[in-house]
Amino acid sequence: METRIAIVTGGARGIGRAVITAFAAQGIVSVVADLDLEVAEKAAKEIRESGAEAVAIKVDVSRIEQIDQLVAETMARYGRLDILVNNAGILSNTPYDVITESEWDHVLDINLKGVVFASRAALKPMIERGWGRIINISSLAGRNGGVSVGPAYAASKAAVIGLTRHLAKKVARNGITVNAVAPGTTETDIIKGFNESEMAAINNAIPLGRLGKPTEIAETVAFLASDSAAFITGAILDINGGMYMG
């Protein structure tokens, strides 16, 4: 099988870091695309030391020109792009009645606009090859409005679900699948935005009684990127310990 090339946005930490590790185990080359180049380079180095291939590229997914450059650099280096994981995102807990326009725009720029335009850029080479996988990281908040998150985060993650289904219909005949994973609260840096009482409420609400692990999300992403998931498109896979059963 040909070596496949994947871009993982927000690939330096948390779920993204777990995804590039899962990809490495499958022989997939990862482009670790992250705003923090130092941490991304460290992650890519660790993947290379494990015997797989990875490279780090700095990108701000809220900037369309940087997204386009990311895909261009990937194509120049490897000559192909097979998989895109839209993982980069930020949390916002600010309530609807006090959130500012600038914060709203910032959250939507990263969590939604970044997904839209990274997908657009990646779809060009995928359509040319007639094969591709796009996996978007949504959230439980996109399903049920969230537990302690703010409206910008919930709205952005719900929009990712709608976008996933839209794109899945548009590019299915091109041999490309588009799916999303909607994790519940997961053990990553993003939960640092919650206070003690909010974390207690979240844990109490999870039927399985614990937070998710990044590796559990990553293995699902790796499955969706594989040939085994060739007949799955437009799906939203919920990984949340039973908090949402849709």
Q: What is the pLDDT of residue 236?
A: 98
Q: What is the pLDDT of residue 201?
A: 82
Query: Tokens 């022989």 sit at which residue?
Result: 27
Q: What is the pLDDT of residue 146?
A: 87
Query: Tokens 């850029």 sit at which residue?
Result: 121
Indicate which residues carry an active-site annotation.
Answer: 153
Residues 223-238 pLDDT 10s? 999 999 999 999 999 9
What is the C-alpha separation between 16 and 44, in angstroms, rounded?
12
Specify the CATH class of 5-238 in words.
alpha beta
β-bridge pairing 83-86 and 132-137: parallel
**How many whole angstroms from its chain centre is CA 174?**
22
> How far apart, in Å, are the Cα atoms of 5 and each of 9, 22, 132, 162?
13, 13, 10, 26
Percent helix, strand, coil in the chain, to 5, is 50, 15, 30
Q: What is the pLDDT of residue 1?
A: 63
Nearest to 34 by CA among 107, 89, 73: 89
Q: What is the pLDDT of residue 158?
A: 98
Residue 197 is inside which H or E element, if any?
helix 196-205
Domain parsing of the chain, residue ranges: 5-238
Q: What is the pLDDT of residue 231?
A: 98
Q: Which residues of the chain have pLDDT under 70?
A: 1
Residues 104-128 pLDDT 10s? 999 999 999 999 999 999 999 999 9
